[in-house]
Amino acid sequence: MYKSFFHLDSTPFADSPDPRFLVRTPHAREALATLEYGISAHKGFIVLTGEVGTGKTTLLRSALASFEPGRVFSSFVFNPRLEVLDFFEFILADFGIVPQSRTKSGMLIQLNRWLIERFRHNETSVIVIDEAQNLTWEQLEEVRLLTNLETPTRKLVQIVLSGQPELEEKLTAPDLRQLRQRISLWARTYAIAADETSEYIRQRLLVAGSSDPIFLPDAVAAIHRASCGIPRIINLICEQALILAYVEQLHQVPAALIHAVVRDLDLDPQSFTVSSSRFGTPTDRTPASLDRLRREEGGDER
């Protein structure tokens, strides 16, 4: 509706994990580097955590898209609320494997054979489990056992657990100490800082085809205050603002229009403020030594 009015080729603030729209803030670059390194170096278990709406799925899609086509095969489990058999069946189907038997042992044997074939061709297999904080204890144990699929030199499958802060809390449970000990790398997503919001909006508009300063500086400041720097909320506010600006035939969005959008959406910043106590500060992030790890292990294997 508004694309031609603002000279846009695509929708800049759609709520979809399109890797093209990943804005590489310092936090995002570090998390992306951790994911890419962990997968390419066959580290086994990687955990990505972050508050709701901070771009975890976009980062995951971007990390997978960064590899050479045909080099990395992935199974993306976006709904882990499945029974164990359904869980394994989904993984096989997403890898393009037709289950020959609907027993756990049968599917595991079939998966192992397929993974060995990928290994022989020097290919990498990745299982990504989104919303992993919803995994049951039984499912987490089954996921841990998947890392037993290995050769003497490397893991046959890389597993990325992605979830909200509750996932970190869950992984501290004594019953999961075997799983926690196998996690090689941790990555985290954060809210966008006030001085990064303008660049976030500008870059998404640029990818969508417009280099015009559609959002005025006072509007950007209002967007950050209302969203607390949560990318999903920024996208929601900006999308509604572009629609309203089109209706009002405004080629630039002022702060007054943002205030109207926030009122219409009935946004309460307190309901999605990131808890710093859960995540610490950006300087606490692990790992902080990816460059050192790459040097020690011979560089990026991608």
Q: What is the pLDDT of residues 138-170, one digit of tens each?
A: 888 888 888 888 888 888 999 999 999 999 999
Q: How far apart are CA 134 and CA 79, in angstroms?
A: 9
Nearest-Å Rg of the Cα atoms of the chain is: 21
pLDDT of residue 190: 94
Give the range among 13-17, 184-188, 189-193, 293-297 with minimum mean pLDDT. 293-297
Q: Are 147 and 159 in contact (CB under 8 A)?
A: yes
Per-residue pLDDT at 269 exceeds 80:
no
* Helix runs in 172-216, H state only: 177-181, 194-207
Q: How far apart are CA 128 and CA 130, in angstroms?
A: 6
Mean pLDDT of the chain: 87
**302 or 83, which is more confident:** 83
pLDDT for position 108: 92
Q: Using 50, 70 and 90 to split pLDDT, how confident is the model at 271? A: low
Per-residue pLDDT band at 270 (split at 50, 70, 90):
low
pLDDT of 56 strictly over 60? yes
What confidence score (pLDDT) does residue 273 get? Answer: 55
pTM here? 0.84
pLDDT value at position 102? 86
Give bridge partners of residue 23 from the DSSP assignment.
none
pLDDT band at 128 (very low <50, low <70, confident <90, very high): very high
Which domains, from first to last, does the chain contain? Answer: 20-191 (3.40.50.300)
The residue-averaged pLDDT of 53-71 equals 93
Task: Give yes or no for a contact between 256 and 155, defined as CB atoms under 8 angstroms apart.
Answer: no
Q: What is the phi/psi pair of residue 208, to 5°?
A: -80, -5
Q: What is the mean pLDDT of residues 178-206?
A: 93
Measured CA to CA, the distance from residue 30 to residue 66 in angstroms comes to 14
